[in-house]
Amino acid sequence: MRLTVLSGPSGVGKGTVVAEVRRRHPQVWVSVSCTTRAPRPGETDGVEYHFVDAEEFAQMVKTGELLEHAMFAGHAYGTPRAPLGERLAAGVPCLLEIELQGARQVRAVMPDARFVFLAPPSWEELVRRLTGRGTEPTEVIIRRLDRARIELAAETEFDAVVVNDDVTAAAERLVSLVAAG
């Protein structure tokens, strides 16, 4: 089974679309990343992320437990290698939701994976979503918007683009790419 990697600018709706995929298509295994950021309200350790401290994260990097890792808006994020390897070996359709630097690292080691870019309908809509989530202070939003400008420019590196206009439609388009193998 070919791995699918979803990336795209912060605030485009990656988390929302992936949550919809989990709900509608439980046969798709979604990797749970490790991060040093704090849980947002409603997030549960082990579900959206494994929440770890900087020391634990550094240890995982050192022991090679992470397939890829990157800093994003002041926090570390990484994909545990072993659980993904097990699912792929068992032929389970797998999905990673990671930012651009991580996607590039995965491409370097797994060039056969399918890289999908989740794009906003427009820049204005992206700003609206990023501001509207209401979970981050202004300086964090500014940092994420700076990063989003860079990430939008990378769209052409990807194998496929899904526009997140409607959540359900975007989730279905993503799943059809995951299932295409």
Q: Build a one-symbol-per-residue string for 129-158: x at contacts with ligand ADP by CB under 6 A, - elsewhere.
A: x--xx-------------------------
Check residue 77 for interaction with ligand 5GP (CB under 6 A): yes
71, 86, 131, 152 from 139: Cα distances, Å: 17, 39, 11, 20
Q: Which of 20, 97, 129, 175 binds ligand 5GP (CB under 6 A)?
A: 97
Residue closer to ligand 5GP, measured from CB, 146 or 181: 146
Calculate the dihedral angle through the C-alpha atoms of 126, 131, 136, 140, rounding to the nearest 10 degrees. 60
Q: Which residue is nearest to ligand 5GP (CB)?
A: 102
Beta carbons of 175 and 28 less than 8 angstroms apart: yes
> Of the listed pieces 53-61, 67-75, 87-95, 111-119, which binds ligand 5GP according to CB under 6 A?
67-75
Residue closer to ligand 5GP, measured from CB, 117 or 181: 117
Q: In sequence order, what E strands does the chain have?
A: 4-7, 29-30, 33-35, 49-51, 66-72, 75-80, 94-97, 114-119, 160-163
Q: How far is the CB of 93 from ligand 5GP (least distance, A)?
A: 18
Q: How far is the CB of 89 from ligand 5GP (least distance, A)?
A: 20
Q: Which of 52, 70, 116, 171 binds ligand 5GP (CB under 6 A)?
A: 70
Q: Which of 138, 45, 28, 49 is nearest to 94 (CA)?
A: 28
33, 54, 74, 131, 164 from 37: Cα distances, Å: 11, 9, 8, 19, 25
Q: Which of 10, 33, 35, 36 binds ligand ADP (CB under 6 A)?
A: 10
